Structure 1
Amino acid sequence: MIIRLATINDSKALLKIYSQYIDTSITFECVLPTEEDFKGRIAAIIKDYPYLVCEENGEILGYAYAHRQMERESYQWNAELSIYLDRSFTSKGIGKKLYYILIDILKLQGIKTVYGGVTVPNKRSEGLHLGLGFTSLGIYHNTGYKNNKWHDVEWFEKQIMPYNIEPEPFLSVSKINQEKIQEIINKY
């Protein structure tokens, strides 16, 4: 199994995995994006945040990425995490491994707190977050309507770095030494 940084050339394989969730409440997106749109999303994220893929024998099994949690400047030390695994490869430890790597890279970027939103119930995703030391912030009730039903979303948070006075500004992943990123990936 190989974990590496995603590129826009992975868009077709990642979209194929994402398509497995489009008819579920796991994503609140209702129409599958085009490959071109998905490629644009990947390009926008990888400019500043880590975006990982897990592959085996050249086949991508899943992916996870971080992105800005909220837009205002004072939120720059937070990141929201997202993960999608091919349904054939859930509950095999891949998600945990991807999250560990994301979090370690985000620490290098100066991120202090990570967040995850989970449409509930989703025992696997809830368990992933709680098992990694996230705490529940609470539930947004009836916050999304999909598949003829209102859905709740539970939000989880985890402090990953100390909250020091006068923190260094957020550092784009593109400015992190690639050897350090590879060391983190190799650690897991």
Structure 2
Amino acid sequence: MKIRSACQKDAQQLVSIYAPYVKNTAITFEYEVPSIKDFEKRINTTLKKFPYLIAEEEGIIQGYAYASTYYDRSAYDWTAELSVYVKEDARKKQVGSQLYDALEAALQKAGFVNLLACITLSNEASLAFHKKRGYDQVAHFKKIGYKFDKWYDIVWLQKRL
């Protein structure tokens, strides 16, 4: 598995990985699958300040992870929110772990101190993944997101580097 930085030409494969999460889950609260152009913009915007990493095997993207601004105030400049999405048929291949290893190392090297993950409940796999990596739950917001005619809770997990 090769980990590398994302670029615009990856947008089509990234959309195909992300689409099932949008269409079939409340893991993301987006209602519509973003266009390839939207994803190209997201990649470019993210790379201005944060890592946006791809896990690739034989030219096929297996997953991606990126960091983003937690809150747009200077006092939060040492904190980043992390996201990871893995192709459905690659979920048991440690793709997420490899991406997070590289993402956390890059963020630490860049001077970040706090890492945050926002998880929709109930996503036990993501909770277990993050807790195994040393993230602790620090907040629980009840019925905060509405999708598929249902209200969902979210939890925030934090890891201090």
> Which TM-score tier does this pair reach, normalised by the shorter chain?
over 0.9
1:57-136 correspondence to structure 2 within 5 Å: 57-136=58-137
Counterparts of 1:139 and 1:93 in 2: how far apart (Å)? 27
Counterparts of 1:8 and 1:48 in 2: how far apart (Å)? 16
Counterparts of 2:60 and 2:102 in 1: how far apart (Å)? 20
Q: Corresponding residue for 1:14?
A: 14
After TM superposition, the structure 1 stretch with the greater mean CA deviation from structure 2, 58-67 or 89-98, is 89-98
Preserved CA contact (<8 Å) 1:17 1:84: yes
Looking at CA atoms only, which structure, 1 or 2, has the larger radius of gyration?
1
| Paired residue total | 160
CA-CA distance at 1:16 after TM superposition: 0.6
For 2:130, the aligned partner's letter is H
SS across alignment from 1:61: strand
Preserved CA contact (<8 Å) 1:137 1:154: yes
Q: Corresponding residue for 1:46?
A: 47
Counterparts of 1:114 and 1:25 in 2: how far apart (Å)? 22
SS across alignment from 2:22: coil
Counterparts of 2:117 and 2:7 in 1: how far apart (Å)? 23
Aligned CA RMSD, in angstroms, stands at 0.8
Counterparts of 1:86 and 1:101 in 2: how far apart (Å)? 18
Q: Corresponding residue for 1:145?
A: 146
Preserved CA contact (<8 Å) 1:20 1:86: no
Q: Name the one with the larger strand percent.
A: 2
Preserved CA contact (<8 Å) 1:79 1:113: yes
After TM superposition, the structure 1 stretch with the greater mean CA deviation from structure 2, 107-116 or 91-100, is 91-100
Counterparts of 1:130 and 1:64 in 2: how far apart (Å)? 17
SS across alignment from 1:20: helix
CA offsets per residue over residues 43-72 of structure 1, 9 Å max, x none? Answer: 000111001001111100100001111100
Counterparts of 1:49 and 1:18 in 2: how far apart (Å)? 19
Counterparts of 2:126 and 2:88 in 1: how far apart (Å)? 13
TM-score (norm 1): 0.83
Q: Are 1:3 and 2:6 counterparts? A: no
TM-score (norm 2): 0.97
SS across alignment from 2:21: coil
Counterparts of 1:128 and 1:98 in 2: how far apart (Å)? 12
Counterparts of 1:100 and 1:61 in 2: how far apart (Å)? 15
CA offsets per residue over residues 152-187 of structure 1, 9 Å max, x none? Answer: 111100001xxxxxxxxxxxxxxxxxxxxxxxxxxx
For 1:61, the aligned partner's letter is Q
1:157-172 correspondence to structure 2 within 5 Å: 157-160=158-161
For 2:134, the aligned partner's letter is G
Tell me the percent identity.
Answer: 38
SS across alignment from 1:106: helix
